[in-house]
């Protein structure tokens, strides 16, 4: 069924799931959120804590329309479906096999009425949806510049970690075009790219409003940060309290246990 906000042209490759739901080489992980589960390929790029923290950081209101750029396994759309009352959540993934696996996770959780996985290059997704038709955009993009570091020889991991198929600017530019006026943009990234993120967000009219640094523990520098921007928002950036992942003894902090929906030991 065509959304009211989708353009009257050929549609991107929405994933139609066939049997079997789970393949022999795959595993199923419990997401510890309302019984949700996720199919993963142990040989491919598996989601990490950054995706979980981003989904918890997002403030998604009832009936919102949300799109996740570079969705990978579909972890963020599936978690947002469990944590919010968003009416529609779309995940966009350029790798066909990864998108197909994410589509099977949607089916496994019986979320087909709210979550859709689309196999498409995020740089082309604005050809299929009206400009400024989403309430929120989320993204856990590749952290590494093109040409930086040594890409993983397995292409699926390299694409997830390095700006091979889409750059940071691509993600921010496309997000701005998709968002409604005062729509929310949420992203997780590495601190060494902070200046790039802030400059590009303001360039594309996504005003940074909240930022939270995530530290391994109180004695370590932050290794990721979470950012919220508002399209055409007024300038005012709030620095939230830092999030610490571990106590000094290596156990998770109480806030991490709360985010994961578990009780501390």
Tens-place pLDDT, residues 216-259: 999 999 999 999 999 999 999 999 999 999 999 999 999 999 99
List the CATH number of the domain containing 195. Answer: 3.40.50.150
What pLDDT shows up at residue 21? 84
Q: What residue has token string 């065509």?
A: 2
Indicate if the pLDDT at residue 22 is higher than 90: no
Indicate if the pLDDT at residue 82 is higher than 90: yes
Which one-letter DSSP state was computed for residue 60?
Answer: -
What distance in Å separates the CA atoms of residue 262 and residue 118, rounded to the nearest whole number?
Answer: 32
Q: Answer yes or no: is 131 within a domain.
A: yes
Residue 184 has φ and ψ, to the nearest 5°, of: -100, 135
Q: Answer yes or no: is 57 within a domain.
A: yes
What pLDDT shows up at residue 7? 52
pTM score, whole prediction: 0.86
Higher pLDDT, 175 or 157: 175
What pLDDT shows up at residue 43? 85
- Closest-CA residue to 30 (of 265, 244, 262, 250): 262
What pLDDT shows up at residue 146? 59
Q: Answer yes or no: is 97 within a domain.
A: yes
Residue 1: pLDDT band with limits 50, 70, 90: very low
Q: Answer yes or no: is 15 within a domain.
A: no
Higher pLDDT, 87 or 3: 87
Cβ 103 vs Cβ 72: under 8 Å: no
Residue 121: Cβ within 10 Å count: 15
For the chain, the domain total comes to 1
What distance in Å separates the CA atoms of residue 6 and residue 239, rounded to the nearest whole number?
Answer: 36
What distance in Å separates the CA atoms of residue 231 and residue 234, rounded to the nearest whole number?
Answer: 9
What pLDDT shows up at residue 208? 98
Q: Answer yes or no: is 90 within a domain.
A: yes
Which alpha helices (DSSP H) does the chain contain, by range? 49-57, 75-83, 96-108, 155-161, 168-178, 194-203, 254-259
Q: Which domain holds residue 111?
A: 22-259
Q: Answer yes or no: is 9 within a domain.
A: no
**Alpha carbon of 128 to those of 5, 7, 95, 97, 138: distances in Å?**
9, 5, 18, 21, 18
Residue 3: pLDDT band with limits 50, 70, 90: low
Residues in the chain: 265
Q: What is the pLDDT of residues 92-103, one digit of tens each?
A: 999 999 999 999
What distance in Å separates the CA atoms of residue 161 and residue 176, rounded to the nearest whole number?
Answer: 22
Q: Answer yes or no: is 8 within a domain.
A: no
Residue 23: pLDDT band with limits 50, 70, 90: confident
Q: Which of 11-20, 29-38, 151-160, 190-199 has the highest mean pLDDT?
A: 190-199
What are the E-state strand segments in the chain?
13-14, 27-30, 37-40, 65-69, 88-93, 115-119, 134-139, 179-189, 206-215, 224-231, 238-239, 243-244
Tokens of 262: 């578990």
What pLDDT shows up at residue 13? 57
What pLDDT shows up at residue 83? 95
Q: What is the pLDDT of residues 27-66, one digit of tens each?
A: 999 998 889 999 999 888 788 899 999 999 999 999 999 9
Tokens of 162: 């390095």
120 SS3 class: coil
What distance in Å separates the CA atoms of residue 32 and residue 79, rounded to the nearest whole number?
Answer: 10
Q: Answer yes or no: is 1 within a domain.
A: no
What mean pLDDT is predicted for residues 128-137? Answer: 96
Q: What is the pLDDT of residues 165-211, one digit of tens each?
A: 689 999 999 999 999 999 999 999 999 999 999 999 999 999 999 99
Residue 141: Cβ within 10 Å count: 21
């Amino acid at each position: 069924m065509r959304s009211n906000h989708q353009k009257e042209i050929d549609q991107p490759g929405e994933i139609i799931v066939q049997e079997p739901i789970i393949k022999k080489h795959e595993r199923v992980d419990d997401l510890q959120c309302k019984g949700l589960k996720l199919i993963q390929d142990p040989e491919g790029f598996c989601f990490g804590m950054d995706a979980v923290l981003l989904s918890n950081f997002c403030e998604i209101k009832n009936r919102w329309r949300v799109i996740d750029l570079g969705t990978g396994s579909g972890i963020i759309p599936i978690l947002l479906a469990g944590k919010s009352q968003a009416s529609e959540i779309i995940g966009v993934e350029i790798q066909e096999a990864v998108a197909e696996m994410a589509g099977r996770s949607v089916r496994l959780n019986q979320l087909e009425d709210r979550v859709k996985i689309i196999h498409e290059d995020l740089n082309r997704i604005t050809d299929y949806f009206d400009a400024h038709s989403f309430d929120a955009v989320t993204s856990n993009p590749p952290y590494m510049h093109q040409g930086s570091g040594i890409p993983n020889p397995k292409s699926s991991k390299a694409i997830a970690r390095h700006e091979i198929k889409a750059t940071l600017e691509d993600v921010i530019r496309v997000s701005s075009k998709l968002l409604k006026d005062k729509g929310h943009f949420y992203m997780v990234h590495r601190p060494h790219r902070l200046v790039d993120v802030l400059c590009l967000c303001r360039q594309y009219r996504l005003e940074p409003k909240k930022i939270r640094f995530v530290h391994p523990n109180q004695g370590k520098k932050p290794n990721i940060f979470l950012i919220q921007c508002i399209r055409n928002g007024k300038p005012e950036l709030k620095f939230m309290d830092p999030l610490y992942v571990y106590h000094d003894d290596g156990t998770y902090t109480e806030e991490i246990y709360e985010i994961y929906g578990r009780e501390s030991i």
